[in-house]
Amino acid sequence: MRNLILLLIALFFATSTYSQKIGYEFRTNGKAYISTSYAGFEVRHRTDKEENRFTYRYKMLDSEKFTFSLPLHYKVEKEKATLEPRLKYHLNKFSLWAQKEFNLEENMNAAFGIDIPVNDFTYRIGWDSSDTVRFRLVKKF
């Protein structure tokens, strides 16, 4: 519990002073996450367990129509690094995306979804290969 309180204080401090985005995601498999990001770096905490992930997202291609990014995740408690290439196709009012997470030892989930930006918020609905639907709300600062 002490670690969770410290993490929440750190997330509050980061979002109020340095963050570009803060988000909340929940999934139909019972998992939920809070996250904050700045300049390609993201910290994510899984709220139903004490799990944390640090991410650096490198955008290899960023145009009006497409974004191809290569996020490198480090899952702290599992001491595991993974890659999760994502391709986004931007339309007028929303974006379609697909991603695949993997590492050298394990074949992991693929996910697909829609991001709908409205002013400073982005709404996400998606599905992944573990038959889970995900919903996310992100606020930009």
- 42-96 pLDDT, tens per residue? 999 898 787 889 999 999 999 999 999 999 999 888 889 999 999 999 999 999 9
* Percent of the chain with pLDDT strictly greater than 90: 62
Amino acid (1-letter code) at residue 21 = K
Across the chain, mean pLDDT equals 88
In tens, the pLDDT along 73-85 reads 998 888 899 999 9
Q: What is the DSSP string of 53-122?
A: EEEEEEEEEE-SSEEEEEEEEEETTTTEEEE--EEEEE-SS-EEEEEEEE-SS-EEEEEEEEEEEETTEE
What integer pLDDT is reported at residue 12 of this predicted model? 61
Tell me the torsion sign for CA atoms 64, 43, 115, 101. positive
Write down the pLDDT at residue 61.
Answer: 94
Phi, psi of 44 (to 5 degrees): -130, 135
- Residue span of the structural domain in which 99 resides: 2-140
pTM above 0.95, yes or no: no
- What pLDDT sits at residue 77? 86
The structural domain count of the chain equals 1
> CB 69: neighbour CB atoms within 10 A?
18
